[in-house]
Amino acid sequence: MPFATWWRIDFTPEFAPLAGFRVQHIQDIPLLARLHASSEAEMERRMREGNRAYVAFMDDVPTAYGWLATRTGGVSVLNVSFAIPEKSGYLWDFQTLPDWRGHGIYPRLLREIVRQEPDIEHFWIGYGPGNMASERGIIKAGFHIVCDMVVVEGRVVGLELFTDSEQSRESVNVFQLPIIS
């Protein structure tokens, strides 16, 4: 599973204004449950664990959502969890609703979360292998793809670093995994 990062020292792309677009930190449990097609109990659990939900709107219509973790993160399908370092944030569980895909909402949502969280210095985000739409949106938002979790026989065994950058090397500390290659 590839991971990308954006740091406060990194270039911040500018987007053309999108009329009616806004992003809001949401604590509306029924709205979140409806958007996720999940239970209110699950949304409450996420919030109790310190996760923050963000929803993108076009006028008053919800179009996309995502979560920011600042304590612990993980990839449930890989059975991996990790403590999030101080001044870092882990972006996870993003989705653009089907009717709104292809409008540039996802990269704008990422940028706006970064803007609304000035105390976080380093943001991390992963995406499913082969999910080119997510990869494009993440890159468009200014993130750098720095590593991939190496899976052997269904188990994460380490990281493959894509560059020798400080960001790539920091992924070892964030995910607490050894460098494989």
Segments making up each domain of the chain, as ranges: 2-145
Q: What element of type H or E holds 35?
A: helix 29-36
Mean pLDDT score of the chain: 97
pTM strictly above 0.75: yes
Lowest pLDDT segment from 10-14, 25-29, 120-124:
10-14
Answer whether residue 22 shows pLDDT above 80: yes
Coil/strand/helix, residue 124: strand
Question: According to CATH, what is the number of the domain 2-145?
Answer: 3.40.630.30
Stretch 55-60: mean pLDDT, rounded? 98
Coil/strand/helix, residue 79: coil
Stretch 73-81: mean pLDDT, rounded? 93
